[in-house]
Amino acid sequence: TAGITQAPTSQILAAGRSMTLRCTQDMRHNAMYWYRQDLGLGLRLIHYSNTAGTTGKGEVPDGYSVSRANTDDFPLTLASAVPSQTSVYFCASSDLAGGHNEQFFGPGTRLTVL
Amino acid sequence: GQNIDQPTEMTATEGAIVQINCTYQTSGFNGLFWYQQHAGEAPTFLSYNVLDGLEEKGRFSSFLSRSKGYSYLLLKELQMKDSASYLCAVIDSGYALNFGKGTSLLVTP
Protein backbone atom coordinates (compact mmCIF):
# COMPACT_ATOMS: atom_id res chain seq x y z
CA THR A 1 0.00 0.00 0.00
CA ALA A 2 1.10 3.58 -0.61
CA GLY A 3 0.27 4.73 2.90
CA ILE A 4 0.19 8.50 2.79
CA THR A 5 1.26 10.57 -0.20
CA GLN A 6 1.79 14.28 -0.75
CA ALA A 7 2.07 16.40 -3.87
CA PRO A 8 3.98 18.24 -5.06
CA THR A 9 7.35 17.19 -3.65
CA SER A 10 8.58 20.75 -3.88
CA GLN A 11 7.36 24.06 -5.23
CA ILE A 12 8.57 27.60 -5.71
CA LEU A 13 5.72 30.09 -5.48
CA ALA A 14 5.51 33.82 -6.03
CA ALA A 15 4.19 35.83 -3.09
CA GLY A 16 0.51 36.62 -3.46
CA ARG A 17 -0.25 33.47 -5.45
CA SER A 18 -2.49 30.72 -4.18
CA MET A 19 -1.59 27.08 -3.93
CA THR A 20 -3.08 23.81 -2.72
CA LEU A 21 -0.91 21.11 -1.19
CA ARG A 22 -2.43 17.68 -1.68
CA CYS A 23 -2.48 14.81 0.80
CA THR A 24 -4.01 11.38 0.31
CA GLN A 25 -4.00 8.33 2.54
CA ASP A 26 -5.18 4.82 1.80
CA MET A 27 -5.19 3.45 5.35
CA ARG A 28 -8.80 4.51 6.05
CA HIS A 29 -7.61 6.56 9.01
CA ASN A 30 -10.26 8.86 10.43
CA ALA A 31 -7.89 11.62 11.56
CA MET A 32 -5.56 13.73 9.41
CA TYR A 33 -3.19 16.58 10.22
CA TRP A 34 -1.07 19.24 8.58
CA TYR A 35 2.23 20.36 10.17
CA ARG A 36 4.92 22.76 9.10
CA GLN A 37 8.53 22.22 10.06
CA ASP A 38 10.95 25.09 10.33
CA LEU A 39 14.57 25.04 11.42
CA GLY A 40 14.81 25.67 15.15
CA LEU A 41 11.06 25.54 15.66
CA GLY A 42 10.23 21.90 15.15
CA LEU A 43 6.91 20.58 13.88
CA ARG A 44 3.91 22.82 14.45
CA LEU A 45 0.29 21.86 13.84
CA ILE A 46 -1.58 23.97 11.28
CA HIS A 47 -4.97 22.27 10.98
CA TYR A 48 -6.42 18.90 11.77
CA SER A 49 -9.49 16.80 11.04
CA ASN A 50 -10.75 14.10 13.38
CA THR A 51 -13.21 12.72 10.83
CA ALA A 52 -14.50 13.47 7.36
CA GLY A 53 -16.57 16.62 7.32
CA THR A 54 -14.92 18.25 10.34
CA THR A 55 -11.79 20.36 10.71
CA GLY A 56 -10.07 22.25 13.49
CA LYS A 57 -7.36 24.85 13.98
CA GLY A 58 -3.95 23.99 15.32
CA GLU A 59 -1.18 26.14 16.69
CA VAL A 60 -0.45 28.17 13.52
CA PRO A 61 -3.60 28.26 11.32
CA ASP A 62 -3.44 31.83 9.99
CA GLY A 63 -3.06 32.03 6.22
CA TYR A 64 -4.10 28.42 5.68
CA SER A 65 -7.38 26.63 5.07
CA VAL A 66 -8.31 22.96 4.83
CA SER A 67 -11.23 20.81 3.81
CA ARG A 68 -12.10 17.18 4.45
CA ALA A 69 -14.72 16.12 1.94
CA ASN A 70 -13.91 12.42 2.29
CA THR A 71 -11.81 10.07 4.42
CA ASP A 72 -8.81 9.85 2.11
CA ASP A 73 -8.02 13.45 1.13
CA PHE A 74 -7.01 16.46 3.19
CA PRO A 75 -5.82 19.38 1.01
CA LEU A 76 -4.14 22.44 2.48
CA THR A 77 -4.67 25.76 0.70
CA LEU A 78 -2.65 28.94 0.91
CA ALA A 79 -4.94 31.66 -0.42
CA SER A 80 -2.28 34.34 -0.82
CA ALA A 81 1.21 33.08 -0.06
CA VAL A 82 3.73 35.14 1.91
CA PRO A 83 7.49 34.50 2.33
CA SER A 84 7.01 33.45 5.98
CA GLN A 85 5.12 30.42 4.68
CA THR A 86 8.34 29.06 3.24
CA SER A 87 8.65 25.75 5.04
CA VAL A 88 8.46 21.98 4.77
CA TYR A 89 4.88 20.79 5.09
CA PHE A 90 4.04 17.34 6.41
CA CYS A 91 0.67 15.66 6.27
CA ALA A 92 -0.08 12.88 8.76
CA SER A 93 -2.90 10.51 9.56
CA SER A 94 -3.93 8.32 12.45
CA ASP A 95 -6.61 5.89 13.52
CA LEU A 96 -8.25 7.43 16.58
CA ALA A 97 -9.90 4.11 17.42
CA GLY A 98 -6.58 2.30 17.29
CA GLY A 99 -5.49 2.95 20.84
CA HIS A 100 -2.58 5.31 21.11
CA ASN A 101 -3.06 7.52 18.07
CA GLU A 102 0.25 6.78 16.34
CA GLN A 103 0.57 9.24 13.50
CA PHE A 104 1.95 8.25 10.10
CA PHE A 105 3.63 10.99 8.12
CA GLY A 106 3.77 11.66 4.41
CA PRO A 107 7.08 12.45 2.67
CA GLY A 108 6.58 16.22 2.88
CA THR A 109 6.30 19.16 0.51
CA ARG A 110 9.10 21.71 0.43
CA LEU A 111 7.58 25.12 -0.35
CA THR A 112 9.53 28.27 -1.10
CA VAL A 113 7.63 31.57 -1.34
CA LEU A 114 9.54 34.37 -3.02
CA GLY B 1 0.18 26.23 27.07
CA GLN B 2 2.55 23.50 26.05
CA ASN B 3 6.23 23.36 26.89
CA ILE B 4 8.30 20.43 25.67
CA ASP B 5 12.06 20.62 26.10
CA GLN B 6 14.83 18.45 24.76
CA PRO B 7 18.52 19.11 24.05
CA THR B 8 19.25 20.64 20.68
CA GLU B 9 22.25 18.50 19.77
CA MET B 10 24.10 15.44 21.04
CA THR B 11 27.13 13.53 19.82
CA ALA B 12 27.96 9.91 20.61
CA THR B 13 30.34 7.22 19.42
CA GLU B 14 29.43 4.20 17.35
CA GLY B 15 28.75 1.21 19.62
CA ALA B 16 28.03 3.36 22.66
CA ILE B 17 24.78 4.11 24.53
CA VAL B 18 23.08 7.51 24.44
CA GLN B 19 20.15 8.87 26.42
CA ILE B 20 18.02 11.70 25.03
CA ASN B 21 15.92 13.46 27.64
CA CYS B 22 12.57 15.20 27.25
CA THR B 23 10.70 17.22 29.85
CA TYR B 24 7.19 18.47 29.36
CA GLN B 25 4.60 20.74 30.94
CA THR B 26 1.23 20.32 29.26
CA SER B 27 -2.36 21.06 30.17
CA GLY B 28 -3.21 17.37 30.00
CA PHE B 29 -1.52 14.08 29.23
CA ASN B 30 -2.67 11.23 27.03
CA GLY B 31 0.67 9.78 26.02
CA LEU B 32 4.20 10.54 24.89
CA PHE B 33 5.77 9.59 21.58
CA TRP B 34 9.29 9.43 20.24
CA TYR B 35 9.85 9.81 16.50
CA GLN B 36 13.03 9.51 14.44
CA GLN B 37 13.61 11.81 11.50
CA HIS B 38 16.51 11.50 9.07
CA ALA B 39 17.51 14.61 7.17
CA GLY B 40 15.12 15.34 4.31
CA GLU B 41 12.73 12.58 5.32
CA ALA B 42 9.46 12.22 7.20
CA PRO B 43 9.32 11.43 10.92
CA THR B 44 8.86 7.74 11.71
CA PHE B 45 7.40 6.29 14.89
CA LEU B 46 9.78 4.81 17.47
CA SER B 47 7.89 4.43 20.73
CA TYR B 48 4.87 5.31 22.82
CA ASN B 49 4.51 5.59 26.60
CA VAL B 50 1.33 6.34 28.51
CA LEU B 51 2.10 4.59 31.82
CA ASP B 52 5.15 5.08 34.00
CA GLY B 53 8.05 2.81 33.30
CA LEU B 54 10.29 1.50 30.60
CA GLU B 55 9.23 0.25 27.16
CA GLU B 56 11.88 -1.75 25.32
CA LYS B 57 11.98 -2.39 21.60
CA GLY B 58 15.21 -3.87 20.32
CA ARG B 59 18.08 -1.37 20.63
CA PHE B 60 15.68 1.41 21.60
CA SER B 61 13.97 1.92 24.96
CA SER B 62 11.76 4.73 26.21
CA PHE B 63 11.02 5.68 29.80
CA LEU B 64 8.25 7.80 31.26
CA SER B 65 7.64 9.42 34.64
CA ARG B 66 4.32 11.24 34.59
CA SER B 67 4.77 12.74 38.06
CA LYS B 68 8.04 14.35 36.96
CA GLY B 69 6.92 15.27 33.44
CA TYR B 70 9.96 13.44 32.14
CA SER B 71 10.86 10.92 29.49
CA TYR B 72 14.02 9.61 27.92
CA LEU B 73 14.89 7.65 24.82
CA LEU B 74 17.78 5.22 25.23
CA LEU B 75 19.67 4.04 22.17
CA LYS B 76 22.06 1.13 22.65
CA GLU B 77 24.81 -0.24 20.41
CA LEU B 78 24.77 2.93 18.35
CA GLN B 79 25.16 2.62 14.62
CA MET B 80 26.08 5.28 12.09
CA LYS B 81 22.55 5.08 10.67
CA ASP B 82 21.20 6.29 14.02
CA SER B 83 22.43 9.80 13.16
CA ALA B 84 19.12 11.63 12.91
CA SER B 85 16.81 13.98 14.76
CA TYR B 86 14.77 12.52 17.60
CA LEU B 87 11.45 14.19 18.29
CA CYS B 88 9.58 14.03 21.59
CA ALA B 89 5.83 14.65 21.30
CA VAL B 90 3.00 14.73 23.83
CA ILE B 91 -0.74 14.32 23.35
CA ASP B 92 -2.49 16.56 25.83
CA SER B 93 -6.27 16.65 26.06
CA GLY B 94 -6.99 16.35 22.35
CA TYR B 95 -5.69 14.11 19.62
CA ALA B 96 -2.96 16.23 18.07
CA LEU B 97 0.72 15.81 18.89
CA ASN B 98 2.65 18.67 20.49
CA PHE B 99 6.25 18.34 19.40
CA GLY B 100 9.45 19.45 21.02
CA LYS B 101 12.03 21.06 18.76
CA GLY B 102 13.94 17.82 18.35
CA THR B 103 17.40 16.58 19.27
CA SER B 104 19.93 16.20 16.49
CA LEU B 105 22.11 13.16 17.22
CA LEU B 106 25.44 12.71 15.48
CA VAL B 107 27.07 9.28 15.72
CA THR B 108 30.80 9.35 15.09
CA PRO B 109 33.12 6.46 14.23
pLDDT at residue B6, rounded to an integer: 97
Q: Which residue of B has its CA nearest to A107?
A: B42
A114 to chain B, closest Cα gap in Å: 21
Please give the radius of gyration of chain B, using alpha carbons only, rounded to the nearest integer: 13
User: pLDDT tens-digit profile of A1-46?
Assistant: 579 999 999 999 999 999 999 999 999 999 999 999 998 888 999 9
A27 close to B (CB below 8 A): no
* B90, B69 contact by CB (below 8 A): no
Specify the length of chain A in residues. 114
| pLDDT at residue B2 tops 80 | no
pLDDT at residue A1, rounded to an integer: 57
User: pLDDT tens-digit profile of B76-101?
Assistant: 999 999 999 999 999 887 777 899 99
| pLDDT at residue B68 tops 70 | yes
B50 contacts on A by Cβ (under 8 Å): 100
**A interface test, pick of B85, B95, B103, B104 with most A CB neighbours within 10 Å:** B95
Q: Which of A45, A101, A105 lies closest to B43 in CB terms?
A: A105
User: First and final CA of chain A: distance in angstroms?
Assistant: 36
Number of neighbours of residue A18 by Cβ within 10 angstroms? 10
Helices (H), chain A: none
Q: What percentage of chain A exceeds 90 in pLDDT?
A: 88
B30 contacts on A by Cβ (under 8 Å): 101
